[in-house]
Amino acid sequence: MSNKQKAIVCHEVGSDLSLELIDIPEPGPNEVLVKLHAIGLNSLDWLMRERGSFVKEWPAVFGFDAAGTVVKAGEAVTNVAVGDRVMHSGTLEEPQVFTFKEYTVIRSDFVAQVPANITLDEASTIPLALATGAFALYDSKHPPRGGFALTPPWEANGRGKYVGEPIVIVGGASSVGQFAIQFARLSGFSPIITTASKHNEAYLESLGATHVIDRALPLADLAMRVAAIAGRPVLYAFDAVSTPETQNAAYDLLAPAGNLIVDRRFEIEEAKLASGEKYVALVSGDAQNLPSRPCATALYAHMTELLATGDIKPNRIEVVPGGLLAVQAALSRLKEGVSALKLVIRPQETL
């Protein structure tokens, strides 16, 4: 195997992406080297390129999701072996783990085996969005980040624990929203109310949503519509869209002492935040973010089983031809908006 690999590199904010050769890293203790077969694209990828969000140094390689085969294992790795099909996410903590390339090195406790019922293409879209949805519900509260700190369904007595408790998930057709709906179903929430386009209603109901409110309706009416459905005070809302308008609407629909999780920077009116009346936190899907690691390691330990049993289903996917050279156009398309669908690149198709 050559010690060089193809990678997509960005040299400065807003610059075109270029195909370059970089070194293939060696796995250290508790790490594995993964040959990537599929890369899932996320909104964070284009935000890093166009705005420089979270970029620690330039030039930079982006990409947060991937699936492939373990080709080398470092010392003390016990949960996976050479030849295993695995999936993992990149991390802001270690830029060398980003995935717009042919090989990655990743800590083995943040790698999950891909079950036989899931393709590598599907698996490449799962880790970041799945973790974000899970962390929103189950991560500890460590403001300004964190989750609801609920009992997860992989723990004893976690399944169905929140029966009769309503939850609102704004943006249910988003990748993160789809996973949040499924976790809410496993936790027993009812009703599970989400917002989405009407053409996604049946699909989201198949994942566990009990009520889908048309996203085209005025957000000013959201609290009224939710109250009519819930029939009791709503204490939990997760905004997977997180515009200023959706964050404020989600905040307003909550009962006093309610809990709101958003997945982008706070856009809630300052007076509301200053009141301290409701818990508001920003969720991170980065499994290696130190405060989230206890939740992350537990999730990764159960991820394969959740997918193998069908308790959690992957997003719908579309494979974009052209390998790594197709990344830039695919990110532009993602920025414009892709509904209920994840875009996938296969690095081995790069010419």
What is the chain's pLDDT, residue by residue, as a tens digit (351 residues)?
679 999 999 999 989 999 999 999 999 999 999 999 999 999 889 988 988 888 888 999 999 999 999 999 999 999 999 999 999 998 877 766 689 999 999 999 999 999 999 999 999 999 999 999 999 999 999 989 999 999 999 999 999 999 999 999 999 999 999 999 999 999 999 999 999 999 999 999 999 999 999 999 999 999 999 999 999 999 999 999 999 999 999 999 999 999 999 998 899 999 998 899 999 999 989 998 889 999 999 999 999 999 999 999 999 999 999 999 999 999 999 988 888 899 999 999 998
- pLDDT score at 91: 85
Residue 194 and residue 36: Cα distance in Å, rounded?
34
Q: How many residues does the chain have?
A: 351
CB-based burial, 273-307: b 16+ in 10 Å, e otherwise:
eeeeebbbbbbbbbbbbeebeebbeebbebbbebb
Q: Count CB atoms within 10 A of the CB of residue 96.
A: 14
- Reduced to 3 states, what is the DSSP secondary structure of residue 289? coil
**Residue 316 DSSP class:** P
Asked if 59 and 113 touch (Cβ cutoff 8 Å), the reply is: no
CATH number assigned to the domain with residue range 129-282, chosen from the 4 options 3.40.50.410, 3.90.700.10, 3.40.50.720, 3.40.50.1860: 3.40.50.720
Q: Which two tokens stand for residue 148?
A: 């609801």
Residue-range domain boundaries for the chain: 4-126+314-349, 129-282
Q: Which residues of 200-287 form beta strands (DSSP E)?
A: 211-214, 236-239, 259-262, 279-282
Q: Euclidean distance between the first and final Cα of the chain, in Å?
A: 18
- pLDDT score at 44: 86
Give the pairing of strands 317-320 and 145-146: unpaired
**How buried is residue 113: exposed, middle or buried, by Cβ count under 10 Å (0-12/13-18/19+)?**
buried
Give the residues across from 107 on adjacent strands: 31
Residue 321 and residue 346: Cα distance in Å, rounded?
7
Q: State pTM to two decimals.
A: 0.95
Q: Count CB atoms within 10 A of the CB of residue 178.
A: 31
Residue 275 and residue 12: Cα distance in Å, rounded?
40
The residue type at 241: V
What are the angstrom distances between the C-alpha of 338 and each of 33, 92, 332?
31, 24, 10
Residue 240 and residue 244: Cα distance in Å, rounded?
12
Dihedrals φ, ψ of 228, to 5°? -65, -30
Does CATH place domain 4-126+314-349 in 3.40.630.10? no
Residue given tokens 């949960």 in the structure block: 79
- pLDDT score at 176: 96
Peptide bond into 115 cis (omega under 30): no
Residue 158 and residue 9: Cα distance in Å, rounded?
43
